[in-house]
Amino acid sequence: MRIYGDLVSGNCLKVKWTCDHLRLAYEWVDIDIMQSESRTPVFLAKNPFGQVPVVAFDDGRHLAQSNAIVLYLADGSDLVPADPFLRAKVLEWMFWEQYSHEPYVAVCRFQMKYQGKRADERDPDKVARGVNALETLENALADQPFLVGSELSAADIALVAYTRVAEEGGFDLSGFPHVRSWIGNCDTVLKLSE
Amino acid sequence: MRIYGDLVSGNCLKVKWTCDHLRLAYEWVDIDIMQSESRTPVFLAKNPFGQVPVVAFDDGRHLAQSNAIVLYLADGSDLVPADPFLRAKVLEWMFWEQYSHEPYVAVCRFQMKYQGKRADERDPDKVARGVNALETLENALADQPFLVGSELSAADIALVAYTRVAEEGGFDLSGFPHVRSWIGNCDTVLKLSE
């Protein structure tokens, strides 16, 4: 299995972390998104969406969309609950992540860290929606160590990818103690600080 | 089962169509999003995300996020392939829908149909990204009647909800013949024109 990705992208890290946690063998192929390497004809043949990550399996098939890849690779593992309703709650968080979290938290971070914007140059609407996403996480994590059930799941991998670097996008996490504890919980299980 | 939704929302229609297709019994509870009924404290207790649709099951549990609901209700049916890789391709399309299609095609339609904007008042970036999404669909549907495999799946339900009303958002579908054929295929199976 080959993972085409860029380590600056939280979406790509989700796939890497899932493989590392589940001890799945893979070859990592660097795609420099800052140089538009995800837009070349060769890459577009692998992923018509023109986005990273994309995974190429040994039989020649490809799969894109970080959260779809994570769920496929983690199917049957401890990252995806066997109970159908809990599995649906994992999906609920993962769809929410792509619609209501990533477009604000990750985009602000991209603009500041890679495009050189200052915090006060960010789009105020994106900032407000990013704060709102962090508040939703803070409330959800007030009484539990992970987003779904008592163990780390694919939902945590999807959400922690950009939340743990939210401060690079100008979001102050000091007012979100439950979010910070949860980031620590995820880091411990995924061994991200080693 | 109760579905809280607004029939002007394609995200809500996805859930309704899934139930109707699978002959699942439900009670429909109208939530007027134009009157912010999805933001009241009573509604937020059901869905902290403050969005429709949300489904309340008879045991008191709730599930939000249209695509998570569709996949949960359709689990084990002909709408979700049994083959793990094809199931992953269904998810790939559904995550793409929420990130790269709905925020452009649905939002332009909302602004024109419900907020009174003219086509030339739409955000040019949203228009360009909406056209790009339609082109991605057109290419994918050039050689096949549905998005994944030879039968209608949850991916088609997710994508057709706003694509079939894209012209209400100022998108001209005349240059997308495969998309128009596919909308017809979906309408036939889901009996949307009856």
pLDDT(A66) > 80: yes
Q: Does the distance separating the beta carbons of A68 and B91 come in below 8 Å?
A: yes
Q: Rounded distance, CA B171 to CA B127, Å?
A: 8
Q: Rounded distance, CA B56 to CA B107, Å?
A: 26
CB within 8 Å of B180: residues ≥ 6 apart: B173
Q: Rounded distance, CA A159 to CA A171, Å?
A: 15
Q: What is the pLDDT of residues A102-161, one digit of tens each?
A: 999 999 999 999 999 999 999 999 999 999 999 999 999 999 999 998 999 999 999 999
Q: What is the pLDDT of residue B193?
A: 79
Task: Tell me the pairing of strands A62-64 and A54-56.
Answer: antiparallel
Chain B residue numbers touching A88 (CB-CB < 8 A): 63, 68-69, 71-72
Q: What is the pLDDT of residue B23?
A: 97
Residue by residue, pLDDT tens for chain B (194 residues) are 999 999 999 999 999 999 999 999 999 999 988 888 888 888 888 787 888 999 999 999 999 999 999 999 999 999 999 999 999 999 999 999 999 999 999 999 999 999 999 999 999 999 999 999 999 999 999 999 999 989 999 999 999 999 999 999 999 999 999 999 999 999 999 998 76
Average pLDDT of the residues of chain A: 95
Ramachandran quadrant class, B29 (left: phi over 0; alpha: psi -120 to 50; beta: rest): beta
Q: Which domains does chain B have, with CATH numbers?
A: 2-74 (3.40.30.10), 84-190 (1.20.1050.10)
Task: Please report where in the chains the tokens 């009924």 appear, as a residue.
Answer: B37
Q: What is the pLDDT of residues A5-59, one digit of tens each?
A: 999 999 999 999 999 999 999 999 999 888 888 888 888 887 878 889 999 999 9
Q: What is the pLDDT of residue B37?
A: 83
Q: Does the distance separating the beta carbons of B99 and A103 come in below 8 Å?
A: yes
Closest to A72 (Cβ–Cβ): which among B84, B99, B100?
B84
According to DSSP, residue A146 is labeled S
DSSP string, A5-61: E-TT-HHHHHHHHHHHHHT---EEEE--GGGTGGGSHHHHHH-TT--S-EEE-TTS-
Closest residue in B to A70 (Cα–Cα) = B88
Q: What is the pLDDT of residue B49?
A: 81
Q: Does the distance separating the beta carbons of B92 and A95 come in below 8 Å?
A: no
**Best mutation target, A46, A91, A96, to test chain B (most B CBs within 10 A):** A91
Task: Please report where in the chains the tokens 């968080």 appear, as a residue.
Answer: A93
Kindly provide the b/e burial profile for residues B147-160, where b requires at least 16 CB atoms within 10 angstroms of the residue's own CB.
Answer: bbeeebbbbbbbbb
Q: What is the pLDDT of residue B42?
A: 83
Q: Does the distance separating the beta carbons of A85 and B91 come in below 8 Å?
A: no
pTM here is 0.96
DSSP string, A94-143: HHHIIIIIIIIIIHHHHHHHTT---GGGS-HHHHHHHHHHHHHHHHHTSS
Closest to A88 (Cβ–Cβ): which among B72, B100, B139?
B72
According to DSSP, residue B37 is labeled G
Per-residue H/E/C for A154-184: HHHHHHHHHHCCHHHHCCCHHHCHHHHHHHH
Q: How many degrees, rounded to 5, is the angle at CA B53 between CA B47 and CA B59?
A: 60
